[in-house]
Amino acid sequence: MYMIFKFFFSFFLAFPILLVNAQQDDKIENLISQLTIEEKISMCHAQSKFSSAGVPRLGIPEIWMSDGPHGIRPEINWDDWGYANWTNDYVTAFPALTCLAATFNPDLSMKYGTSIGEEARYRKKDVLLGPGVNIYRTPLNGRNFEYMGEDPYLASVLVVPYIKGVQKNGVAACVKHYALNNQEHWRGHINVEVSDRALHEIYLPAFKAAVKEGSAWAIMGSYNKFRGQHCCHNDLLLNKILKKSWGFDGVVISDWGGVHNTNEAIFNGLDIEMGTPSDKNQSKRYPYQNNFLGKPFLDKIIGNEVKESILDDKVRRILRLMLRTSLKQNKPFGSINNKQHYETAYKIASEGIVLLKNTDNFLPIDKTKRITIAVIGENAEKSMSIGGGSSELKPDKEISPLLGIQKEFRNAVIKYAKGYSSDATVNSDKLRKEALSIVKDADVVLFIGGLNKNRHQDSEASDRDSYQLPYNQPELIKEISKNNKNIAVILVSGNAVETRWKTDVKSILQSWYLGSEAGNAIASILSGEVNPSGKLPFSFPMNLNDNGAHYFGKLSYPGDGVSQYYKEDILVGYRWHDTKKIVPSFSFGHGLSYTSFELLKSSSDKNEYLINETIRVNCTVKNTGKLEGKEVVQVYAGKVNSKINRAKKELKGFKKVFIKSNQSEKIKIEIPVNNLAFYNEKDSDWEIEKGEYIIYIGNASDNIWEEISITII
């Protein structure tokens, strides 16, 4: 009786959604029946740099797309990469997604998606080309700043609320770059060879979560190849895994210029071709008609080489996207550059900054004191919202670190010297001397350096050519520290850097590309207005070759110009450091606070679990310091005596918790036993190893408070 009731109750709940979908499907079929073949073809490729065609005679709208993951890109010209220089496309610059990842805070991810979705809607964009969730495999990847770090579980948890936040505005999130786009070097053609296990356990989970939990309405194919096929038309990735296995009902959009073959584009799961150059000689009126999914596709349909049903499936998905976005009834109006969005940007920025080192509690700096602060470094004033490639922005406001510090420390005398320059033509010796001249008498030195959005730094289309801090920053830091020991370094970057210089300084903050509120967030952390709670979403190897992707030489990274082989396999990031016992400079999950926390007690609800059960880890954490603050309790799991090669431990749960001084909080973290599975390549399916596992509870991958043994039976 109960089961019958449960069935009818769940059907009753689902009925409205089923009804809407049925009505949508009817609308879609009705429209398809009215469209000519030429009209259907025109919907499957670009009509301009950032739009695909609608069908004016039927009132079917165009689809307008815009970068990027951290804010809405300035308007681009109709048919070239130049900026249109509009005056109404100034936006909020939100922190880069590495910063969002460092917050370990899904609630902030929802706020992020909601705010950026409101700005996209206001700018009348139907598809936001973001977020990016490619895994951080090497510190040299120019685009790591756009992504969510080295751990698939962290990225999987944070990508879902971002997507839901965007899409509730009637804007599609277009999750990218699917898949294995883990470097920019040779990005347009490099063929990635990686095992099924690493593909499914490391590189796909965030995309799978985006589709199955986030219900993403669009996915962007990546430029590179996988097992010999370009990912924008890759049968295994798009047809077999994305659409068939995961049940993706949205639209696959190519990366710009990522399509290379008509037959593959037709049959291997691509729906909209973007970025293939136009050809005005062929047609002034329809310059994109000769795209791979244009006339070549049309000719094959007319010539009965390709069934019209193949075309209809693409159009069905495109119309579904329209009904979710441009054709959606009662969609919100959106909003832009408002108080809420700046508050969201500030919250994410200040919660994402990571305190890496803080000797003698050097930070925070008492802002009531009349001290002299020497600020050194080009990144103290350099805008980081421009540059870096397609994610660049035209912010309506961008508070520089220097301005933020000047506003926050009104009682102090603030002196500034650039110290170094990214411009090779500038006299670096003069800059160095100016810097040394102001540090001598300062009470505090704040060195604001790191990387920037120039080519071969943190930028699209090129990887870094060195793991070192550029522009001789380490040497300058060392010289400064000889003149003044009271130095804190603030790294503005989106990637790990070599940190041998860390012994020369008292404190280090990892500050990301923070956007509009950058200076306010950095200053709030420096003054203690905000107690830092960020955690590293990726490891800082001591040396580049301590990183798994570089350990195996050029064939692993960057490849031989044709292919590259992910020889570290599943051991990416901390998985590599833990398992190979290679100590990093700073570990995944590391981040200090101005207070201190300790684990009072922890337990699992049982000792033995069946496969479909959930492990409930209960722990009590105490704030043993004088200041209130937030801690990220992290739970890792590792198989004891596994029959296969596995990482020592993997992140399977985390929770960020606010605790007042001298108070403690009870935390429960749930781990479905199914999440302990490994991908069995022989069976092409997930498998759970029975036997003993260790549950590691801590506040960093290299700071484990407690280990609990459990058994899967």
Active site (catalytic) residues: 255
Q: Are 431 and 418 in contact (CB under 8 A)?
A: yes
Smallest gap from Cβ 489 to ligand GLC, in A, equals 31
Smallest gap from Cβ 550 to ligand GLC, in A, equals 24
C-alpha–C-alpha distance, residues 98 and 251, integer Å:
26
Q: Are 532 and 509 in contact (CB under 8 A)?
A: yes
Please provide the size of the chain in residues: 713
Question: Whose Cβ is closer to ligand GLC: residue 129's or residue 171's?
Answer: 129
Question: Whose Cβ is closer to ligand GLC: residue 67's or residue 151's?
Answer: 67
Which residue type sits at 584?
A: P
Smallest gap from Cβ 162 to ligand GLC, in A, equals 16
Helix (H, G, I), strand (E, B) or coil at 220: strand
Within 8 A by CB and 6+ apart from 685, the residues are 679
* Residue whose C-alpha is closest to residue 123's, from 190, 76, 178, 181: 76
Smallest gap from Cβ 179 to ligand GLC, in A, equals 13
Binding mask 109-148 for ligand GLC (x = CB under 6 A): --------------------x-------------------
Helix (H, G, I), strand (E, B) or coil at 178: strand
Could you tell me which residues are beta bridge partners of residue 599?
Answer: 621
Smallest gap from Cβ 260 to ligand GLC, in A, equals 14
* Residue whose C-alpha is closest to residue 373's, from 449, 439, 431: 439
Question: Whose Cβ is closer to ligand GLC: residue 274's or residue 298's?
Answer: 274
Helix (H) or strand (E) holding 304: none
Question: Whose Cβ is closer to ligand GLC: residue 11's or residue 86's?
Answer: 86
Does residue 67 bind ligand GLC (CB under 6 A)?
yes
Helix (H) or strand (E) holding 707: strand 703-712
How many chain residues interact with ligand GLC (CB under 6 A)? 6
Per CB under 6 A, contacts with ligand GLC among 389-408 are: 390
Question: Whose Cβ is closer to ligand GLC: residue 256's or residue 420's?
Answer: 256
Could you tell me which residues are beta bridge partners of residue 651?
Answer: 636
Per CB under 6 A, contacts with ligand GLC among 566-625 are: none
Smallest gap from Cβ 192 to ligand GLC, in A, equals 16
Question: Whose Cβ is closer to ligand GLC: residue 132's or residue 548's?
Answer: 132
Q: Are 99 and 351 in contact (CB under 8 A)?
A: no
C-alpha–C-alpha distance, residues 532 and 110, integer Å:
21
Does residue 273 bind ligand GLC (CB under 6 A)?
no
Smallest gap from Cβ 459 to ligand GLC, in A, equals 12
- Supply angle C-alpha 556, 569, 713, rounded to 5: 175
Does residue 255 bind ligand GLC (CB under 6 A)?
yes
Smallest gap from Cβ 358 to ligand GLC, in A, equals 36
Q: Are 554 and 545 in contact (CB under 8 A)?
A: no
CA distances 15 to 5, 12, 211, Å, are 15, 5, 22
| Alpha-carbon 670 to chain mean position | 24
Does residue 256 bind ligand GLC (CB under 6 A)?
yes
CA torsion sign for 291, 296, 301, 306 is negative
Question: Whose Cβ is closer to ligand GLC: residue 89's or residue 255's?
Answer: 255
Question: Whose Cβ is closer to ligand GLC: residue 67's or residue 546's?
Answer: 67
Could you tell me which residues are beta bridge partners of residue 272?
Answer: 253
Query: Which residues would be at the binding site for ligand GLC (CB under 6 A)?
Result: 67, 129, 176, 255-256, 390
